[in-house]
Amino acid sequence: MSRSTTHRLGALATIAVATAGLLIGTTTSAAADFKDGVLETNEFGLYYNSGLGGCVFDVYDSDSDFSNDKFKGSCSGSGQTTNDNTASYWNRDNVFDYYVYTDANYRGSWGTIPSGYSGDASSTFKNEISATNS
């Protein structure tokens, strides 16, 4: 093996290790940011008030029971439980629809929130949502 080939292989190995480390770091921090009270791209947000007002509860994937979740931040609804306490929502996921349920463990009445959709909850779901999944 020539010296330049060995040098290239070493450089490629270094790049691969650095890239893997970057991806692991990015994945870990992204996964740790959901339920932080900040609605980001690819998350689903449930708002305390109508019109996307008040605090937001943000999820990245699914949550089968909101009874242990609370709104965070210094906004209307802060510290209140998310369970049966949301009036509007915004699906900021670019691909997936989200499903909301009126009872924990994906039971009760359910509805679909399409990718990119935001709005006020209907009378069936206003202050009745207890679970969501994508």
Please state the domain extents for the chain: 1-32, 44-133
Task: Name the more confident of 64 and 10.
Answer: 64
CATH class, range 44-133:
mainly beta
Run of H or E residues at 23? helix 3-32
pTM over 0.85: no
φ, ψ (nearest 5 deg) of residue 114? -65, 155
Q: What is the CA radius of gyration of the chain?
A: 20
Give the 3-state secondary structure of residue 58: strand
Q: Tokens 């915004």 map to which residue?
A: 90
Task: Name the more confident of 33 and 123.
Answer: 123
pLDDT of residue 53 exceeding 70, the answer is yes
- Average pLDDT of the chain is 84
pLDDT of residue 45 exceeding 50, the answer is yes
Which runs of consecutive H residues, i.e. helices, occur in 33-126?
A: none
